[in-house]
Homo-oligomer: A and B are copies of this chain.
Amino acid sequence: MNALEVARRDRRGALQRLDDLLRIPSVSAVPEHAPDVRRAADWVAERLRAAGVTDARVDETPGHPVVYGAWHVSPDRPTVLVYGHYDVQPADPVELWTTPPFEPTERDGRLYARGSSDDKGQMLMHLEAAAAYRDADGEPPVNLVYVIEGEEEVGSPSLAGWLEAHADELRADVAVISDTAMPAKGQPSLIYGLRGLAYMEVCLRGPNRDLHSGQFGGAVLNPANALCAMVARLHDEDGRVAIPGFYDRVRTLGADERSELAKVPFDEAGFRGAAGAAGDWGEAGYSVVERLGARPTLDVNGIWSGWTGAGAKTVLPSEASAKISMRLVPDQDPDEIGALFEAHMKRLAPQGSVVEVRALHGGKPALVDRSIPAMQAAAIAYRDTFGREPVYTREGGTIPVVAMLDDVLGLQTVLMGFGLPDDNLHAPNEKLDLDNYNLGIETVIRFLAALAEGDRQPGQERRT
């Protein structure tokens, strides 16, 4: 039996292992879950060892641990660095889940659980592929290095330092990450662009304490009203971000790229189904695919002030806060955009208020070179597994580690995503399509084979 056959015979086992990992509520943002995050790290290291990666280990960091593993089969073969993350988003609001977020439940060929798609399911595909090679051939066809972190959902604060400290152990030819989505079921894609992120928190303070709105209302600046007015001025009438300088470094979309993006079989009905009537919004002059992948945005992710419980508390709140994030495109820089945002908020803050701005999280946008051998190997693997050529597209999300792997290790990244647009990432009822889980494992198996094969072809240079 070859590795593909092994994987097909062990689908039930692969599903059981995914189920086990999804039961661990490894929410990296919530301090109370730190022991669960640690438990998930240990689980991943143990699973690496079971897959044949005998030197897997759990490395401490200032935050949550990084799981490292390496399986070097021959210095003559290419080395692939597999990145993934075992931490998950919070499950709130829990009451909107049909079944509990940490009790994986299968319905209609989908597995519902927090982290099923982002990223435990997609990360495990790579471990399952390695295990299949171990059982079929005793070893994989290429050298493998694993970096599975536990802080992706909080901005990977410890990862760059860890990568720098372990650069010697991380030498590779290319990186691969499965943490993105295909545009529609059955239609694979290769993402060559990712948006960056500048995630800010703003606090506007007015009176020095909460006041009675009857005794003070009308003669005191209300920071909740004032913050709303400031947020309202962050977009113009055309849906453009109204922060001075915001678009200065945005690369203009060329006619070639626009016509190529127009070919992406984007599921507009599915998109509108997911977003409802709200899915008719966006920057004037751009298609939905362009708005999502190739244009920067600004969204309020959270806002809070005053009395939010039941009933009518007549408070004039002393402060109002918002979490506001901007998705960035090349060549915007998160630090620079954060500084422009802060300067603008300070300009907008009315007299009698004090504004405080903090950057919570940042990631650079990324564009990947489509001509590298690993992209071609991925295209072959997709075509042979799904029976269809992948489309090339840009994705709206942010994987800061893509820019980090380039910065620290000089690695290009192939993004082999097996999620779907309706996977409910970061939302209630996150799910993974189980066909995609099984086909994902097969695609990874074919990808590693194609990479080894391509590498042996004469006239093809190894990237070093």
Docked Cα-Cα span, A398 to B213, in Å, equals 10
Q: Is A351 an interface residue (CB 8 A)?
A: yes
Q: Is A206 an interface residue (CB 8 A)?
A: yes
- A244 → chain B closest CB, angstroms: 19
Contact residues in B for A215 (Cβ distance below 8 Å): 181, 292, 395-397, 421, 425
Docked Cα-Cα span, A427 to B395, in Å, equals 47
Q: Is the CB of B220 within 8 A of A231?
A: no
Docked Cα-Cα span, A89 to B291, in Å, equals 47
Q: Is A195 an interface residue (CB 8 A)?
A: yes
Q: Is the CB of B235 within 8 A of A225?
A: yes
Q: Is the CB of A219 within 8 A of B299?
A: no
Q: Is the CB of A199 within 8 A of B312?
A: yes
Q: Is A193 an interface residue (CB 8 A)?
A: no
- A442 → chain B closest CB, angstroms: 25
Interface residues of A in 88-137 (CB under 8 A from B): 89-90, 92-93, 96
Interface residues of A in 317-364 (CB under 8 A from B): 317, 320-323, 325, 327, 350-354, 360-361
- A253 → chain B closest CB, angstroms: 14
Q: Is the CB of B216 within 8 A of A275?
A: yes
Q: Kindly identify which residue among B228, B231, B275, B302 contacts A211, using a CB–CB cutoff of 8 Å.
A: B275
Which of A11-19, A139-147, A280-288, A456-464 forms contacts with chain B? Answer: A280-288
Q: Is A295 an interface residue (CB 8 A)?
A: yes
Docked Cα-Cα span, A312 to B302, in Å, equals 9
Q: Is A7 an interface residue (CB 8 A)?
A: no
Docked Cα-Cα span, A422 to B179, in Å, equals 55
Docked Cα-Cα span, A154 to B307, in Å, equals 13
Q: Is the CB of B312 within 8 A of A213?
A: no
Q: Is the CB of A225 within 8 A of B218?
A: no
Contact residues in B for A219 (Cβ distance below 8 Å): 271, 275, 279, 281-282, 288, 291-292
Of residues A227, A291, A296, A303, which shows the largest number of chain B Cβ atoms within 10 Å of its Cβ? A303
Q: Is the CB of A209 within 8 A of B313?
A: no
Of residues A291, A304, A313, A397, which shows the largest number of chain B Cβ atoms within 10 Å of its Cβ? A313
Q: Is the CB of A208 within 8 A of B327?
A: no
Q: Is the CB of B207 within 8 A of A276?
A: yes
Q: Is the CB of A351 within 8 A of B277?
A: yes
Beta-carbon contacts of A244-276 to B below 8 Å, as 1s and 0s?
Answer: 000000000000000000000000000100111
Q: Is A61 an interface residue (CB 8 A)?
A: no
Contact residues in B for A323 (Cβ distance below 8 Å): 306-308, 312-313
Q: Is A197 an interface residue (CB 8 A)?
A: yes
Q: Is the CB of A279 within 8 A of B397?
A: no
Q: Is the CB of B312 within 8 A of A221?
A: no
Q: Kindly identify which residue among B218, B325, B350 contacts A291, using a CB–CB cutoff of 8 Å.
A: B218
Q: Is A373 an interface residue (CB 8 A)?
A: no
Q: Kindly identify which residue among B206, B214, B295, B424 contacts A327, using a CB–CB cutoff of 8 Å.
A: B214
The 8 A-B pairs of least Cβ separation, nearest first, read: A214-B397, A218-B297, A232-B232, A302-B306, A224-B300, A206-B278, A228-B231, A221-B281
Q: List 13 A-B contacts (CB under 8 A).
A: A181-B215, A195-B214, A199-B312, A207-B274, A213-B297, A214-B327, A214-B395, A215-B292, A224-B302, A276-B352, A302-B308, A315-B426, A315-B427
